[in-house]
C-alpha cells in the first residue's frame, strides 16, 4: 500500500528529526524537499547566476541532475555528480534559497520530481512547506509541525552554533518570506493536524504522531 505522510512547518521546528523517526517507524523512505530547493540554489550560485533571475534560475532547475538519498539520518545530495551535501547547508545557500523557492518554474519542476520520487519509492514521509497543501493534498496524514521562533533559534544554535538573537531574527525573516510569497506560501494545509513542539522532547512528538497514523 502506498502511504504518504506530509509534514510542513517553519524552519527549525523539528520537521526533519520527526520526519525521519516517523518514516523509520512506518518503514517507508523520507524526502527532505528543502534540500532540493537548496540544491538548485547551490547550482545557481556555482554558475554565477543571480538568484532573482527568473528565467536563468528556472532553466537551472529543469536541467540539473539531482540525486537525493537519506543515509544514516542525513540527506545526501548530489548535483550533476558532485556531492553538495555540505554546501547546501552553508550561509550563502541559506541566504539565497527563499528567492529561488519563490520562482514558479522552480516550484513546478521540484513538485514534479517530488511526485516521481514518491511513485518510485511506493510512498514515504515527505517534508517541506507545501507538501500537504500542493504536492500531496490527498496524503494519508498531514501534519503542520511548529514551535516558537525562540525555541527554534535555540535548537539551531545548539546544533550549529551562533548567536541566538541573530539566528532568531534570520528565522523570523525566512518565515516571513516563505509565508508571504505568491506561489505555494507556507500555510497550514486543510485537514492538517498542528503539532506544536515548543517545550516537547522530540521522542514525545514522534509518539504523538505515530498514534495519529491511520
Ligand atoms: O527546510 P529548509 O530550511 O531546508 O528549506 C529551505 C528553503 O526552501 C526554505 O526557505 C523554504 C523552501 N522550501 C519551500 O519553499 N518548499 C518546500 N517544499 C521546502 C522548502
The string of pLDDT tens digits covering residues 81-113 is 999 999 999 989 999 999 999 999 999 999 999
DSSP string, 161-199: ---HHHHHHHHHHHHHHHHH-SSS---PPTTPEEEE-TT
Domains in the chain: boundaries: 1-28+123-214, 34-121
Which is nearest to 60 in space by CA: 40, 78, 77?
Answer: 40
Q: Which residue has the higher pLDDT, 84 or 212?
A: 84
Q: Which three-class secondary structure state does DSSP give residue 36?
A: helix
The string of pLDDT tens digits covering residues 8-58 is 999 889 899 999 999 999 999 999 999 999 999 999 999 999 999 999 999
The string of pLDDT tens digits covering residues 125-178 is 999 999 999 999 999 999 999 999 999 999 889 888 899 999 999 999 988 988
The side-by-side arrangement of strands in the sheet containing 3-8 is: 30-32, 123-128, 3-8, 141-146, 193-196
- Is residue 157 within 8 Å of residue 164, measured between CB atoms? yes
| pTM, 2 dp | 0.93
Mutate to test the pocket of ligand 1, among 13, 93, 113, 128 (most ligand atoms within 8 A of CB): 128
Fold of 34-121: Rossmann fold (3.40.50)
* CATH number belonging to domain 1-28+123-214: 3.40.50.300
Per the structure block, which three cell numbers stand in for 174? 525566512
Mutate to test the pocket of ligand 1, among 16, 68, 75, 178 (most ligand atoms within 8 A of CB): 178
| Residue % of the chain over a pLDDT of 90 | 81
Kindly report the protein residue whose alpha carbon is nearest to atom 18 of ligand 1: 128
Q: Which atom of ligand 1 is nearest to the CA of 130?
A: 18
pLDDT band at 201 (very low <50, low <70, confident <90, very high): confident
Question: Identical fold at 1-28+123-214 and 34-121?
Answer: yes
CA–centroid distance, residue 107 to ligand 1 (Å): 11
Amino acid at each position: 500500500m502506498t502511504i504518504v505522510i506530509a509534514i510542513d512547518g517553519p524552519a527549525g521546528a523539528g520537521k526533519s528529526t520527526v520526519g525521519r523517526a516517523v518514516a523509520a517507524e512506518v518503514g517507508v523512505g523520507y524526502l527532505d524537499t528543502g534540500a532540493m530547493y537548496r540544491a538548485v540554489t547551490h547550482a545557481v550560485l556555482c554558475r554565477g547566476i543571480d538568484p532573482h533571475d527568473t528565467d536563468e534560475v528556472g532553466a537551472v532547475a529543469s536541467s540539473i541532475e539531482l540525486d537525493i538519498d537519506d543515509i544514516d539520518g542525513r540527506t545526501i545530495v548530489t548535483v550533476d555528480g558532485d556531492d553538495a551535501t555540505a554546501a547546501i547547508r552553508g550561509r550563502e545557500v541559506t541566504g539565497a534559497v527563499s528567492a529561488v523557492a519563490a520562482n514558479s518554474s522552480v516550484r513546478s519542476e521540484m513538485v514534479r520530481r517530488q511526485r516521481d520520487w514518491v511513485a518510485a519509492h511506493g510512498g514515504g514521509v515527505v517534508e517541506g512547506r507545501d507538501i500537504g497543501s500542493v504536492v500531496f493534498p490527498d496524503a494519508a496524514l498531514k501534519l503542520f509541525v511548529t514551535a516558537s521562533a525562540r525555541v527554534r533559534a535555540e535548537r539551531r544554535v545548539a546544533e550549529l552554533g551562533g548567536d541566538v538573537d541573530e539566528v532568531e531574527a534570520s528565522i523570523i525573516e525566512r518565515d516571513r518570506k516563505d509565508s508571504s510569497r505568491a506561489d505555494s506560501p507556507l500555510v497550514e494545509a486543510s485537514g492538517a493536524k498542528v503539532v506544536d513542539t515548543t517545550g516537547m522532547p522530540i521522542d514525545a512528538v514522534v509518539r504523538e504522531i505515530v498514534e495519529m497514523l491511520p
